Chain A
Amino acid sequence: MKHIIYLSILLAVFALAPYKVAAQCKQFAKNTCKVGLAPYQHDGNYHAAILLEGEEAELYKTFYSNTDYRIGVCGANNLGNIEFILVDGTGKVLYNNKLHSYDWKWDFRLDASQQLKIVIKIPVSGNQPENPMEGCVAIMFGFKDK
């Protein structure tokens, strides 16, 4: 009977482990990324995931005219410089933070509303390929209430 109890505890601990990792990612997004959006107001959306080095992610969003936006792309320190690129519907690159010393945030506004794509690239560190680095990456948006 005791063994069953101990085994249950053990299984519960392992079952809850992914939630703990997810909670850490949420805390990272909240404490590191969201705070850095000020004085822009965070929109309340949550886009975060654990990514491996060499991985890419994409985000699609409509940005509205005459609205001041701040995009923030934050990654765990072990992931190095994360590249993010804004691309329009024709594939034209509008911004690449690689050309701006990998600045984690970018402020912009649009004359006309557009659906844009944000491409996130996690650099490869040169570690052994069988043991890649990984960490939390969050993409957050802030805007101003006029």
Chain B
Amino acid sequence: MNIKLLTSKRTLLILLAFMGLVYAGCSSDKSKSSESKVSDDLITGMDKELADKISTAKKIFYSLPSPLETAILIKNAGATYDADLLNPVANTSKYNTNLEMALNLGIFSTNLSYASLFEQTQATLDYINAAKKMADGLSILDAIDEPTIKRLEENINNKDIIVDIISETLLNSNSFLEDRGLQATAAVILVGGWVEGLHIATSLVPANADIKTDKLVERIIDQKMTLDIVMSLLEDNADDIDVQAVMKDVQELKSIYDKIKITHSEIEAVEDPNTNITVLKSESSVKITPEIFKELSLKVKEIRTRYIS
């Protein structure tokens, strides 16, 4: 009798576990509708105004340039390759805290993207291994696994495949963090990569450059607009101690960027019927002095030096 009872209980438990698997494997419909029902129960009796606010809440994404986009923007602005500007891979052993590893995952990812776009094969291999060490330290599982590195080695002379592999590792890493609610870590990684892009770009601007016409300077100034998004992203995760540490640096950059004035004319969308590409036509004017640019470059250098130390 006891055996029978035990067996039936076991069967019931196995059945329930099986149902759980089916639940997890189904389209996301059921999981969310279950959540919705719980939410409805919770809302019952709740202040109507609050309930309305919840029902109208929007999902908001703040999109920063990825390390790959940053590297492409720098390259397309006419930058050259300078290995001395990158964070030496030997520094990986220095980073032990979550903050250090997250910032330097972003930094190494930008170095990796920059090296790969300039077809620096050995540097590409070195930096994917450096990025892997940081990702492993942060327990970002499978973002950069051994098969990925092997695939990269096998295609090291094919830039298109290399760039695609980098794009995929970034996607894996970002989705891993997003899916686990680790948006604060993701934000710190992105800030690390973004600051590294600023460091490379500001370092490559020649001392005698005309800041009104230099393409790299134009890209650096454009970051004033991205800075607003960086701030919003960090404010969304402001209860995280690592985000708080990074936010202080970003605010210092903002105080300098606030001295740069950008104005835009109205945008007109014009579609080219032959290519199906729409051009958003507008003009912008920028007010910046060489002193402000120098101040910005020095602040970037100071922050970045601290991040890699």
A residues near B, CB below 8 A?
2-3, 6-7, 9-10, 13-14, 16-26, 29-30, 34, 41-52, 55-62, 64-68, 76, 78, 88-90, 92, 94-95, 106-115, 130-136, 139, 141, 143, 145-146
Q: Is the interface of B mostly helix, strand, loop or mixed?
A: helix
Q: Is the CB of B17 within 8 A of A112?
A: no
8 Å CB interface, B49-76 against A: 58-69, 72-73, 75-76
Chain B residues close to A by CB (< 8 Å): 6, 9-10, 13-14, 16-17, 20-21, 23-25, 27-29, 31-33, 36, 40, 58-69, 72-73, 75-76, 117, 163-164, 166-171, 174-175, 178-180, 218-219, 222-223, 225-226, 228-229, 232, 264, 266-267, 269, 275-284
Cβ of B28 and Cβ of A21 under 8 Å apart? yes
B10 A6 Cβ-Cβ under 8 A:
yes
User: How many inter-chain contacts with C-beta < 8 Å in the A-B complex?
Assistant: 211
CB pair B60–A58 under 8 Å, yes or no, is yes
B76 x A114 contact (CB < 8 A): no
Interface contact A111-B228, CB-CB below 8 Å: no
Min CB distance B196 to A, Å, is 15
Question: Given contacts A25-B28, A95-B278, are A44 and B63 in contact (CB under 8 A)?
Answer: no
A29 CB contacts on chain B under 8 angstroms: 171, 175
Q: Which of A3, A43, A88 has the most CB of B within 10 A?
A: A43
Taken together as a complex, chains A and B put the C-alpha atoms of A141 and B33 apart, in Å, by 30
A41 close to B264 (CB less than 8 A): no
- Give Cα A124 to B113, complex, Å: 41
Q: Given A41-B163, A44-B171, A134-B33, verify A88-B267 contact (CB < 8 Å).
A: yes
Contact: A46 with B175, CB < 8 Å? yes
Contact sample, A vs B, 27 pairs, CB 8 Å cutoff = A2-B6, A6-B13, A10-B17, A14-B23, A21-B24, A21-B28, A29-B171, A41-B167, A42-B171, A44-B66, A44-B169, A56-B58, A58-B58, A58-B60, A60-B62, A67-B73, A76-B27, A109-B280, A111-B283, A113-B222, A113-B284, A115-B226, A132-B33, A132-B36, A135-B29, A143-B69, A143-B72
Determine whether the beta carbon of A64 is less than 8 Å from that of B164.
no
| Chain A binding surface SS class | mixed
Q: How far is the CA of A62 from the CA of B221 in the complex (A)?
A: 12
In the assembled complex, the CB of A115 is this many whole angstroms from the nearest CB of chain B, namely 4
For the complex formed, measure the closest distance between the CB of A23 and the CB atoms of chain B, giving whole angstroms.
7
Are A26 and B277 in contact, CB atoms less than 8 angstroms apart?
no
In the complex, which residues of chain A have a beta carbon less than 8 angstroms from the beta carbon of B266?
90, 92
Inter-chain pairs besides A44-B68, A44-B169, 14 sampled, C-beta below 8 Å: A10-B17, A19-B180, A44-B69, A44-B166, A45-B63, A46-B174, A47-B61, A68-B277, A94-B269, A110-B282, A113-B222, A114-B264, A134-B28, A145-B163
Asked if A48 and B28 make an inter-chain contact with CB atoms under 8 angstroms apart, the answer reads no
Q: Are B222 and A64 in contact (CB under 8 A)?
A: yes
Q: How far is the CA of A6 from the CA of B9 in the complex (A)?
A: 10
Which residues of the other chain, B, contact A135 by a CB distance below 8 angstroms? 27-29
Candidates A17, A107, A114, A136; contact of B282 at CB < 8 Å: A114
